Every structure is written in C-alpha cells, then in structure tokens.
Amino acid sequence: MRVPINAASTQPTPLQSLISRRWRPQWVCVSCRHQQRRQQGSNTAQKALDKPYYVTTPIFYVNAAPHVGHMYTMVLTDVMKRWQVLKGRKAILMTGTDEHGMKIQQAAAKANTQPKEFCDKGSDTFKDLAKKIDISNEVFIRTTDQRHKEAVEYAWLRLWDKGYIYESKHEGWYSVSDETFYPPTQVQLIVDPPTGRKIMASIETGKEVEWTSERNYHFRLTAFKEKLLGFYKSNPDFVVPRTRMEDVANHVNTALTDLSVSRPVERLTWGIRVPTDESQTIYVWLDALLNYATVAGYPFTPGQEHAGGWPADIHVVGKDIVRFHCIYWPAFLMALDLPLPKQILTHAHWTLGRQKMAKSTGNVVNPFWALERFGIDTMRWYLIHEGGISDDADYDNRFIIEKYKKHLQGGLGNLTSRIMRGKGWDVQRAVKRYAHPDHSSELETYPAVSEEASRDGRRALGRVRELPERVDSHMRDLHPNRALQALSKAVADINGYLQQASPWTVVTRLQQIASDTTGTELHEAMRAGQGPDELEAEIDRTIYLAAETLRMVGIMLQPFTPDASKRLLDMVGVAAERRSWEWCVLGKDDEYGQPLVEIGKGEKGVLFPSLVSEY
C-alpha cells in the first residue's frame, strides 16, 4: 500500500499545490461541467469528426547524429498525415527530440560540453532534417521544454496520488544504451565484436548491460496485466503488423514485472527531478512517452480534451521500441485515466550490408548526403516504396538508382512524356470526349470506352476505376509501402496497355488518309469501319485512359512526393482546386489536358531527369 502524501497534515499535498500553482485553468465548476456535457452529448459524432487526426513520430534521441532510418520514420509519418489532409481532414503531425537520460549525460561529458548545450545542437540537426525532407509537422517538441517538464511533474504526482508508484530497492541488469533494466532471462554473455571483450548483453538488442543495485521508485505495471490483455483482445489491430501485436500480448501474459521509473541523482543528474523527492530523477521513458500527450495539451482543460488531437490516431515507431510504446505507454495512460492511442504502426529497420543501422557502431547512412545526392522526391519515394513494415530492407545506392530508372524515370516520367509531349493527339480533346463528371461511378456510363474498346482497353478501364479504393485500403491498413507499390503497378500497367494500343500507329494511319489525294485510302478505311472519325475516337480513347491514370496517380502521389506530384499535375493540366481526394474518381474532371507549365524539349520537359550521380 502507498503512504498518502502528508496524510496527517492540513497542508495541501504536492499534487494539490501543483494544480493550484500551474493548472488553475483546469478547474470548471460542477454546474458548468453538466452544461458542457449536455452540449457535448448532443452531437457526439460531430465531436469525433472535429478531432484533428493526430499522428506522431517517436521523439529522437540526440546522443548522436540522425541516420537514414530516422529519415524513414519521419517520411513514413508524414505520408500518413498528408493522406488524411488529402482526404479533407484536419491533421496534426508531431515530431521532436528526447533529451534526457544517461546516454545524453555521458555523451555530453564525452563531448566536454554541458548537457543542454549538447541537446540544443542535436535537436537543431533533427529539425534541419525534418525541414530538408519536407516534413509537414505542426509541432516539434523537446523534452527539455518547460511545458513538458511541468506536465511530467503533474503526471508523476497523479500516479503517486493514485497509488501506482512506490519506493523500493531495485537490482538488475541495466543497459545505458537502451535506458532500461532487463531481467536475468533476457541477458546473455557474449563476445563484443569491436573489442573482443566478454560482456553481458541484452538478448533483445545486443547492447551491453551492467549489474545495478539502487533505491528508486517503481510503477505498478503488473496491476495492469489483465486490463492490458483485455484491451489487446478488444483491439486486435492496435499494433501493426499483427505479428508484433502477438509478441506484445505474449510478453504481457508471461513476463510482466513492475517497472523502475526513477534513478538516483548521484547516477543520473540530467533529467526531470521527482517532484516529491529531489534525490531521484524521473526515468527517461516515463518522461519521453508523456510528450505525445503534452503536445496535445495535457493536462487537458475539461471540454477541450480533443482540441489538440488526443487520443493519438497513430504512433509511428521502430520495432526496437515496441515494448515501451505498446506496453508501458498504454499502462501509464490507463493509470492516468486517459484515452489510449488508436493504433501503433511499428515498422521494420533499414539495414546496411544486412546489418542494422546503429549510431553506436557507425554502420549508418548520412541522410543529408543521401538527400544531396538523390534529391527529396527520390528519397521519399524510395524509402516508402522499398522500406519494410514487417521485414527489414537493405539500403544500397545501386538499388536507389535502379528503382529510380525503372519506376520513376522509365515508368511515371516516361508515361507523362509519351502522353503530354506526344504528337498527333490532343489530350484536352480526349478528356472532353470521354470524361463524365456527373456519372463517373459506374463502368456502364462509359459506353464509348467500355463497348468500343478492346478487351485490353476494358481491363485497363476497370483497373483505373478501382485504383483509388485499392490504394486507400492499403493506407487504412497502415501499409503505405503497398499503397505506393500499387500506384507504381498502375503506371506500369497503363504503359503496357499504351504500348499494345500504339496510338502513334493510328495517328500514322490518319495521316496517310489525309495525305492521299486520290481518296483510295479513305475509301478503304470507310469500308473497314475505320474512317477518320472512328480512328480519332480510338486515339482519344487510349489517350484518355492514360491521361486519367496520370491524373489520379498524381493526386494520390501528393502525400508521398509532394514536389514531384505537383509538377506532374501541372504538366497534365489539373487545376489546383481539383487535386483533393473528392476528385480522385474516374471521369470526375473534364477540364484538364492543357499543361499549366511550359513543357520544353530535352531535360526541361522531363518529370524525372537523369540523376546527377549514378555511381
């Protein structure tokens, strides 16, 4: 049992004092609350719709410079956010830096600088990366921010006041690198490859651990075992992919222990002090995880809990921090009586030479160099298209070049050039002939396309019509890699159809008829039912299907490659106000086809030019 703070005293408890001092705006009179509830209850559905879509990256540790794995997480999160914006929903993306803990303290000492100065420099590097990769974040939080510090203190006092924190002696294997304790069953003796030393290391991460015995505070994690298991059962898609959901549930069911949530100040000075005990520093993961709520306005003002987006719709994290986000974080929120996030997308790693990228070993790819070499669009596209959700992906410059040439330059770029720079047809004329903005949902509203086209043409029409739902389905399942791969396949399919239909051959036939002064060619064509009108309709039919593919792919590509998709839609002549999700319907737009930008010759008119460096 806990000992209530100042139970025998008439003085206010630390929690009461903190609320009075810092959170007075939280208080609302009882009658006002009842009135508020009546107003809110009258339109619950609208309230849910009004909540901004809230998606987060993990906050990145600043003990070393970012690598391409961090860039992948940022881009992945940004794509999820931009997809919601494309579909017309207000969305908030949060990223930031985790700046407390033993690793930071040691890294700053090694750099012979003060921890805050060390963190300022590291945080600026991550901010710079987010800007360079075109991340659309509304918030960049630092755990050294005063508002975050005060919210963590408030949460600690809430947990203490509710009896979920207690003081105890703790002994166990501690990893400074992972900032966590491991039970004896999760450590093993290994030979450290770089040094040849025999060390005890975490089985899970391979990081060195040391035996530690200290007095600190613990969180009653085991008290939430049944509640966590019940939540997982009721929300089987809470963790994506499903295999990691199973691992999480198994760990809770078989290996859950109470969690050490503080460190003695003599060991850890750099962090937020326990508000009731200045001799202890709050555990970095309790501190860091709370950032997701503090960004959204925690402690929340009654009636405005959802204004900042809480609960989070998606946390995007790497698979190495699943335990912290999928077990500890839900338990903390349950203890604080706060709604849990809706889903946690846990992605796989990027490897280099089939070895995990790690700042500690130097086996990394500098993201700034990659951006300088290949450009923003290429890197955003490549990381999502080839990055793993379930399985790791190996990074190689040659792969980037090969994929760029195949899918971007030779696929989407080639299709755009063939259609918009081709001679002998008029894209705008084809759009006017075949677009049906008022009856675009059913295949049979395209009699000129579906009945007159070849079997391949009808198949192409069906694939284009179904593409938005297929891509959106992958996004709902939190597999943006599959969504982008579906877009790439659609481009490849229509390129194949275009090659088979060969409208340039039909153009040549038209030209032959027009240039024949004897009328023989025209007579033969009319006899075969392929007069000028029929041939022109055939050309327009083929060009329309290709142009519609470009238009809809361009709309759906906006979250993935914002700059390249804008150029594509400009080239195809899609008006700026017709680039939202509601326009991503076959036949919806009948006013495009005239480029909004000059399409010149050579590289100037190419969507994806040759890379500066291909070696």
Dihedral sign of CA atoms 148, 152, 153, 157 in order: positive
Quick check: is 43 in a domain? Answer: no
Of the candidate ranges 10-24, 44-58, 136-150, the one whose mean pLDDT is the lowest: 10-24
Higher pLDDT, 385 or 208: 385
* Single-letter amino acid, residue 213: S
CA terminus-to-terminus distance, the chain: 66
Distance CA 102, CA 270 (A): 7
- Residue 493 and residue 345 share a domain: no
The tokens for 337 are: 């009586």
pLDDT at residue 341 is higher than 70: yes
Tell me: the pLDDT tens digits for 513-528?
888 878 888 878 787 7
- Residue 438 and residue 294 share a domain: no
Percent of the chain with pLDDT over 90: 68
- Residue 331 and residue 214 share a domain: yes
The CA dihedral of 175, 179, 180, 185, to the nearest 10 degrees, is -30
State the pLDDT at residue 603: 62
3-state secondary structure of 259: strand
Distance CA 103, CA 115 (A): 10
- Alpha-helix residue ranges (DSSP H) falling in 195-241: 225-234
Quick check: is 123 in a domain? Answer: yes
Q: What is the mean pLDDT of residues 425-438?
A: 90
Distance CA 483, CA 472 (A): 7
pLDDT at residue 280 is higher than 80: yes
Quick check: is 2 in a domain? Answer: no
Distance CA 312, CA 45 (A): 17
Tell me: the pLDDT tens digits for 265-274?
998 999 999 9
Residue ending a domain, among 377, 409, 424, is 377
- Residue 523 and residue 587 share a domain: yes
pLDDT at residue 545 is higher than 50: yes
Measured in whole angstroms, how far is the alpha carbon of residue 3 from the centre of its chain?
43
> Which of 7, 8, 9, 21 lies closest to 275 in space, CA to CA?
21
| Cβ contact 607:599 at 8 Å | no
Quick check: is 387 in a domain? Answer: no
Tokens 């100037």 sit on residue: 604
Residue 421 DSSP label: S
State the pLDDT at residue 189: 83
- Residue 235 and residue 186 share a domain: yes
Of the candidate ranges 325-339, 431-445, 580-594, the one whose mean pLDDT is the lowest: 431-445
Quick check: is 1 in a domain? Answer: no
Q: What is the mean pLDDT of residues 302-331?
A: 95
- Residue 568 and residue 489 share a domain: yes
State the pLDDT at residue 1: 39
Residue 358 DSSP label: B
Range of the structural domain that residue 213 is part of: 14-25+48-377
Residue ending a domain, among 377, 404, 431, is 377
- Residue 285 and residue 354 share a domain: yes
- Residue 363 and residue 445 share a domain: no
Residue ending a domain, among 377, 408, 440, is 377
Tell me: the pLDDT tens digits for 153-197?
999 999 999 999 999 877 778 777 776 777 788 878 888 777 778
Own/partner pairs, 240-248, CB within 8 angstroms, 24+ separation: 240/343, 240/344, 240/345, 240/346, 240/389, 240/477, 240/478, 240/479, 241/346, 241/389, 241/390, 243/390, 244/319, 244/322, 244/326, 244/346, 245/326, 247/322, 248/322, 248/323, 248/326, 248/327
Domain of 229, CATH number, reads 3.40.50.620
State the pLDDT at residue 599: 83
- Residue 513 and residue 401 share a domain: yes
Q: What is the mean pLDDT of residues 492-501?
A: 94
Quick check: is 383 in a domain? Answer: no
Per-residue confidence band for 420, with pLDDT thresholds at 50, 70 and 90: very high
Domain count, the chain: 2
Per-residue confidence band for 456, with pLDDT thresholds at 50, 70 and 90: confident
Distance CA 239, CA 508 (A): 57
- Residue 472 and residue 403 share a domain: yes
Q: What is the mean pLDDT of residues 210-236?
A: 94
Half-sphere exposure of 265 (CA within 13 A, CB side): 8
The tokens for 224 are: 């939430």
Distance CA 370, CA 401 (A): 12
pLDDT at residue 21 is higher than 90: no
| Cβ contact 259:219 at 8 Å | yes
Q: What is the mean pLDDT of residues 238-250?
A: 96
Domain of 481, CATH number, reads 1.10.730.10
Per-residue confidence band for 20, with pLDDT thresholds at 50, 70 and 90: very low
> Which of 203, 226, 248 lies closest to 346 in space, CA to CA?
248
> Which of 292, 227, 284 lies closest to 259 in space, CA to CA?
284
Quick check: is 388 in a domain? Answer: no
Half-sphere exposure of 490 (CA within 13 A, CB side): 29
Name the β-bridge partners of 393.
350
Tell me: the pLDDT tens digits for 361-400?
678 899 999 999 999 999 999 999 999 999 999 999 999 9
- Residue 407 and residue 354 share a domain: no
What is the Rg, in whole angstroms, of the alpha carbon atoms belonging to the chain? Answer: 29
- Residue 354 and residue 318 share a domain: yes
| Cβ contact 334:227 at 8 Å | yes
Quick check: is 134 in a domain? Answer: yes
